[in-house]
Structure 1
Amino acid sequence: MPRWGLADHVAPPAPGDDGAAKKGIAPVTVRAALLSAATVFGLAAAIHIVRYALLLINRTSLLPPLVAGAALWLGVLISLAAIVAVILTAVVTTSWLIARRAAVYEHLGQDDPRPAWALWAGCLIPVVNLVWAPVYVLELAHAEQTQARLRGPITAWWVAWVVSTAVSIFAIATSFTNKPQGIADNTVWVIVAYLLGAAVLVMLWQVFDAFVRKPVERPLHRWVVVGQEQPQQRPAETESAPAVEPGQQEPAA
């Protein structure tokens, strides 16, 4: 058999053929960043709970220098790790958001109305991102026609983020104290701030998954093909047709 007609020669895709949805950060990377940051926040809260317990013990007895030093430096190191985790998570999620918006607007046949520099600035500048980052996410949901389904989770994440930021600012402002009671109170506020931060990351994970579950190219509504009604079939006649031949005669050949 001739072999030259059996092979399909597929031309390689052009450099600009890939959609914008394949550019940017992969969803698995975003999930890894969110999971890592939430884990660091949980560890930070646990370490500060241990520090608070040591403060209670220190009211009646002196702590060994090794234990006191370890508790102090562990708190400092986990706080630095939390700052790094927040920065990396913000960069990763912002990169994904920009790529997702570009893919959605390209699918709609238009350009993103927000320039890339505005998206980066609105999502990474502290305090400013409390206003603009959720707005950008709501705009994405509106462009994908999922605002009715995602307005609740996005609003809940937005409110939790504002409350968490306020608690974190208060914890930082009350950390410059040397009084034992002030240190204990500040430790409690730090614990609450880390727990709220972990909750905000979990809620952001839910919002992110809600977007990822719906690909850009797939329509929001599912169309169902309804078949036409079939004409009712007449019931089979139980009685046989009348004979052609007259009675008392043999049937014709």
Structure 2
Amino acid sequence: MSTVVQPCARCGTRWAVQGPPMHWCPRCRGVLLSPGPIDAPPERRNYRWVARRPGRLDRSARTSEGGRRAAGTPRYSEIPRWGLRDRPVPDHESDGHRARPLSALTRWTHAALLATAVLFAVSALAEAGRYLILLRNRTRLIEPPLLWFSDALVNTAALFALIMALVAAFATLGWLIEARRVTFAAAGGSDPRSPRMLALGCLIPVINLIWPGVFLTEVVSGHADPRARTAVRIWWAAWVFGGMVTVAALYWRTADSLQAKADGVLFTAFTDVAAAGVAVLTLWVVRTIEGRDLRGRNRLARRWVVAVDPATPLIEPVHPGPTATVSTAADADGADSPDGADRAPQEVVAK
């Protein structure tokens, strides 16, 4: 086997020299470099490897484009997410074998909340459609198929929305238990509240208007991002408002008059809209605590860059003044003499 090779300048293939040196690469038809020893050290090689940016056009492609201008300085549209992390990723290998409460539902928290919001929005549209049918029924009779379709849509949407809301409640409860465990473990302690206490405070009616906000406040109390605390306060107020609206909607169904029942349909649609909004706010709080925005994108850490102001002198530099011309007494006497008019004036620089 030959110990002399010719590298290709285009594809990098090294061809063994068996006879006279070749000029073109058999593979890509690129230019072959001059022959050199295969084991030559880097400082004695007749070539050097150059790293190029991926996607860079070769010389033939550039010439075929008619001498198009090169692109400007490469830049990123956003801060790159690759590289060194600002903080180490917590190690969960030590306790990964332990089963967590509601762990099967916790991974579906985001999807369950989003589905709950969509189903409540559909239920609100169904209630609004029923109210429009009631308005039309004041002057005209409604066809039975339309009434049947409206009733089926209202009942089906309400049933599926309630079932999905229950699933989302259990999934969010599992997420809350895990979030509290991670938060207190990062502080070097353990959650002082048991999973049973968290479940009772979040699932029992009436008291679940107060305790979920307390549990979330304890999670974000040591959070570095103030947006998490603001999100919890907004969600807490919306959660209490949604509970009050739900109680009012249930009480409205006990009315006997036709007008009150018709108004109850419209108020039920408003209740469904409020429930959809609470589901969206819950998803917002969950993702904010996780360090993401509402769309699920990771929030970038704020990085401070040292800015240097332009150097300005504190003392104004001394500039040379204009040259002053002073006439002496001898010049004045010479000017009075008859021949003084022909004498050239003398200049004295004032110091």
The TM-score normalised by the length of structure 1 is 0.73
Q: What is the aligned length?
A: 207
Q: Is 1:105 aligned to residue 199 of structure 2?
A: no
Q: Is 1:187 aligned to residue 187 of structure 2?
A: no
**Consecutive unaligned residues in structure 1, runs of 5 or more:** 1-12, 215-220, 227-253
Cα deviation for residue 16 of structure 1 reads 4.0
Cα deviation for residue 60 of structure 1 reads 0.6
Matching residue of 2:330:
none
CA distance in 1, matches of 2:227, 2:136: 50
Cα deviation for residue 97 of structure 1 reads 0.7
Cα deviation for residue 180 of structure 1 reads 2.2
Q: Structure 1 residues 105, 190: closer, same or farther in 2, change over 3 A?
A: same
By percentage of residues, which structure has more helix? 1
Q: Is 1:37 aligned to residue 37 of structure 2?
A: no
Q: Which amino acid aligns with 2:215?
A: Y
Matching residue of 2:153:
74
Q: Structure 1 residues 130, 36: closer, same or farther in 2, change over 3 A?
A: same
CA distance in 2, matches of 1:157, 1:113: 23
Alignment equivalent of 1:94, drawn from 151, 155, 173: 173
1:105 touches 1:143 (CA, 8 Å); kept in 2? no
Which stretch of structure 1 is more off in the superposition, 56-65 or 102-111? 102-111
- Secondary structure in 1 matching 2:254: coil
User: Sequence identity of aligned pairs in percent?
Assistant: 30
1:27 touches 1:212 (CA, 8 Å); kept in 2? no
1:140-195, Cα deviation, whole Å (9 max, x unpaired): 0114444x332221111111111111111111111134532112100111011111
CA distance in 1, matches of 2:92, 2:174: 24
Matching residue of 2:314:
none
Alignment equivalent of 2:235, drawn from 138, 157, 169: 157
CA distance in 1, matches of 2:255, 2:95: 59
- Secondary structure in 2 matching 1:61: coil
Alignment equivalent of 1:173, drawn from 224, 245, 251: 251
Q: Structure 1 residues 52, 222: closer, same or farther in 2, change over 3 A?
A: closer
Q: Structure 1 residues 145, 202: closer, same or farther in 2, change over 3 A?
A: same
Which stretch of structure 1 is more off in the superposition, 166-175 or 176-185? 176-185
The TM-score normalised by the length of structure 2 is 0.54
Q: How does 1:1-253 map to 2 (within 5 A)?
A: 16-18=94-96, 24=103, 29-146=108-225, 148-213=226-291
With CA pairs under 8 Å and 6+ residues apart, which has the higher RCO, 1 or 2?
A: 1
CA distance in 2, matches of 1:14, 1:204: 26
Cα deviation for residue 83 of structure 1 reads 1.3
1:25 touches 1:96 (CA, 8 Å); kept in 2? no
